[in-house]
Structure 1
Amino acid sequence: MGESKNQEEMVKEAVEEAKKQAEQNGEIPVEDETAQDEAEETGAPESTDGQEASDDGKEKKGFFKRKNKKDPKDEKIEDLTDKLTRQMAEFDNYRKRTEKEKSAMYEIGAKDIIEKILPVIDNFERGFQSVEDGKKDDPFVDGMDKVYRQLMKTLEDAGVKQIEALGQEFNPDFHNAVMHVEDEEAGENIIVEEFQKGYMYRDSVVRHSMVKVAN
């Protein structure tokens, strides 16, 4: 028993001596002994400061990478939102274009109908001009006059109006000059006679006034 204890003490002393000598030579840092012993006891690999820094760098790099990466759901939502916005804009443009075309078609159709009614109005006016002064109170003439006035009122309510010509300055946008006359009393380029009335529907000319222009 005594010899066995002496041998164990000698081994311990030798180990302690070896550790001290290794520490002095810088082979095993004192602060790393405990970590090394724990690593040996648990079987875990010994880590160094460089490896820890590298691992921290990888973790941080991976963290920022995951943070900057968009979620597929968010990308899908953005894509669908963009498509919906584009479709709404296209539909709005289509609606405006359709309304404009519908309005233009309606105006063209209305002008066509009005143009066909104007000769009827001309005939009414020629008929009234041919009536003698003594027969203007005739019931038949009075009835025709009421029909004429009702027709003109209906056209006026629909947006039809007569173009002013007599005494106005000639304007090629509204008047059609078929004659010129020298008249010292009339002003320059003034309409002195109207042969056929002109009409407008809203802001567009249905028929130009047929006129005589002075000077």
Structure 2
Amino acid sequence: MAKEKKANNKQEQNEVLEAEKQTATEEAVAEKEQENEQEQELSAEEKLAIELDEAKDKYLRLYSEFENFRRRSAKERIELISTASSDLIKELLPTIDDFERAKKANENQEDVAVLKEGFDLISSKLFKALESKGLKVMETEKGTDFDADLHEAVTQFPVEDESLKGKIIDTVEKGYYLGDKVIRFAKVVIGA
């Protein structure tokens, strides 16, 4: 029995030692897990800080690229505007040359019919050059309805014919379209 008691005591001691070892191991594992969690939290914070730095860098680069694009676009737009009329001017230069030749020829010319014909030719050449660039004359015939989107009323005159009231009775200045856009309103007289 004494041997059995000793064996039981040894067994109990072994069990207690085993339990203590297991508890110590569990505590060590728990501490290790807690350290890992803290490292992961720090890692997450560090990861967020790195991501934030990358996002800031990306933002700054994108902002710089946009600023460069904006400056380049503004410069190109200014150049385009300054040279936009060069095609039209090139087309008008021969007409200007014609006017200069006509002035020289007219100094000694006494035939009015020849002068009129020369100026008609130059005028038609000028208008053809402008038409090739999209210029169109606005039709404002007598009796046409007044349209505030196309016409500018200069004055009103009383009319005897009732059908002309509120309608165009005379055109003071022609109106013009460039493409489909009105670039100059027709100045008209309206019947009252």
State the TM-score bracket (shorter-chain normalisation): 0.5 to 0.7
For 1:143-154, list aligned pairs within 5 A: 143-154=118-129
Matched, 1:186 2:145: no
Equivalent position of 1:13 in the other structure: none
CA apart distance, 1:170? 1.6
Equivalent position of 1:61 in the other structure: 37
C-alpha contact 1:187 1:214 (8 A) present in aligned 2: yes
Equivalent position of 2:183 in the other structure: 205
Please provide the CA RMSD for this pair.
Answer: 4.3
Q: TM-score, normalising length from structure 2?
A: 0.57
Structure 2 unmatched runs, 5+: 90-110
Matched, 1:85 2:70: no
The C-alpha deviation readout for 1:26-71, integer Å capped at 9, x for no partner, is 6x434737x98xxxxxxxxxx8145323323224314533552318
Aligned residues: 162
Percent identity of equivalent pairs: 17
CA apart distance, 1:212? 2.0
CA apart distance, 1:151? 1.1
1:101–1:145 distance in 2 versus 1, CA, 3 Å: same
1:50–1:157 distance in 2 versus 1, CA, 3 Å: same
1:183–1:201 distance in 2 versus 1, CA, 3 Å: farther
1:178–1:77 distance in 2 versus 1, CA, 3 Å: same
Cα distance in 2, alignment partners of residues 101 and 61 from structure 1: 60
Q: Which structure: larger Rg?
A: 1
Aligned AA for 1:145?
D
Indicate the SS of the match to 1:153: helix
Cα distance in 2, alignment partners of residues 186 and 104 from structure 1: 47
Equivalent position of 1:121 in the other structure: none
Structure 1 unmatched runs, 5+: 1-15, 37-46, 114-134
